[in-house]
Amino acid sequence: MKNSHLPLMLLWWAFILILSMDLSGAQACHFFYFVQQWPGSVCDTRQSCCYPTPGKPSANFGVHGLWPNYNDGVYPSNCDPHSPLDLSKISDLLGRMQSEWPMLACPSSSGRQFWQHEWEKHGTCSESVLDQRRYFLTALDLKREVNLLGTLQAAGIQPDGGFYRFSSISNAIKAATGHTSGIQCNIGEDKNSQLYQVYLCLDSSANSFIDCPILPRSSCNSDRVAFLAF
Ligand code: AMP
């Protein structure tokens, strides 16, 4: 190849590069993680927990968050400092938020700080897909649609402090959703591996469940996973 072609080729590659860049400045995410957590396992750690001001949440999975992600596992965060949580946009959802997206950190509060953290860190990175109201509503509706606790109970997996095989939990969720979930365990006060968080994946418009392009690392014991009472 003649050297005289080099500037032309460089120009061509620069042109292709510019075309492939998102000129709006916000990189569209590839998929979403929808993450739910078991409150019994959030609370059964050395750090413990505090119930939110309305009182102890019901014994059900709670939403942790809806997180835009890239296929390589990297994720954007805190994308828009000019978009604070605005409770007036979700005033009609607050009852559901308190029961289905409960804050369990101390000191006790209504949950505002937790929702604000999730919105600012994750929600602001998918604003082009889900505005603030749709972000929270989508997560609440997904939780209802999945009904994780009902799914596990139907498979005989009860939050009764008993132990279950990791594969039984994973298979029950796959049978109900059609997709492999990411399952995380934490270690409780009695040093057991316990069911902590469940990740499901959604397409880039947060419309349909998909197979996760990348699963979070599971730290669960394969033979003995405790499903704590709450
Ligand atoms: P994230 O930054 O979205 O990955 O969430 C992790 C942060 O959320 C950590 O600081 C956790 O302690 C906190 N967190 C997780 N679950 C809850 C909860 N139910 N209530 C309050 N904070 C939580």
Q: What type of residue sits at position 73?
A: G
Cis peptide before 107, with omega less than 30 degrees from 0?
yes
Q: What type of residue sits at position 158?
A: Q
Backbone angles phi, psi at 105, to 5 degrees: -80, 160
pLDDT of residue 4: 62
For the CA of 122, the closest atom of ligand 1 is 3
pLDDT of residue 177: 97
Q: How far is the CA of 64 from the centre of ligand 1 (A)?
A: 7
pLDDT of residue 86: 98
CB 201 within 8 A of CB 34: yes
The model's pTM is: 0.89
pLDDT of residue 213: 98
Say how far apart CA 87 and CA 68 lie, in whole Å. 21
**Other residues' Cβ atoms within 10 Å of the Cβ of residue 120:** 18
How many residues does the structure list for the chain? 230
The C-alpha angle 195, 196, 201, rounded to 5 degrees, equals 105
Half-sphere exposure of 40 (CA within 13 A, CB side): 20
Choice from 33, 34, 38, 42 to test ligand 1 binding pocket (greatest atom count within 8 A of CB): 42
Identify the residue whose C-alpha is closest to ligand 1 atom 3. 118
* CB proximity list for 91: less than 8 A, separation 6 or greater: none
Active site residues: 64, 118, 122
pLDDT of residue 47: 87
| Cα 215 to Cα 32, 35, 111, 201, distances in angstroms | 12, 12, 28, 9
Q: How far is the CA of 140 from the centre of ligand 1 (A)?
A: 17
Q: What's domain 29-226's superfamily in CATH? A: Ribonuclease T2-like (3.90.730.10)
Identify the residue whose C-alpha is closest to ligand 1 atom 1. 118
Query: Which residues have C-beta atoms less than 6 Å from ligand 1?
Result: 37, 42, 62, 64-65, 103-105, 114, 118, 121-122
pLDDT of residue 20: 44
Mean pLDDT by 10 residues, the chain (230 residues): 61 53 62 98 93 95 98 97 98 97 96 98 98 98 98 98 98 98 96 98 98 95 97
Q: How far is the CA of 22 from the centre of ligand 1 (A)?
A: 30
Q: How far is the CA of 105 from the centre of ligand 1 (A)?
A: 8
Identify the residue whose C-alpha is closest to ligand 1 atom 8. 114
214: left (phi over 0), alpha (psi -120 to 50) or beta: beta
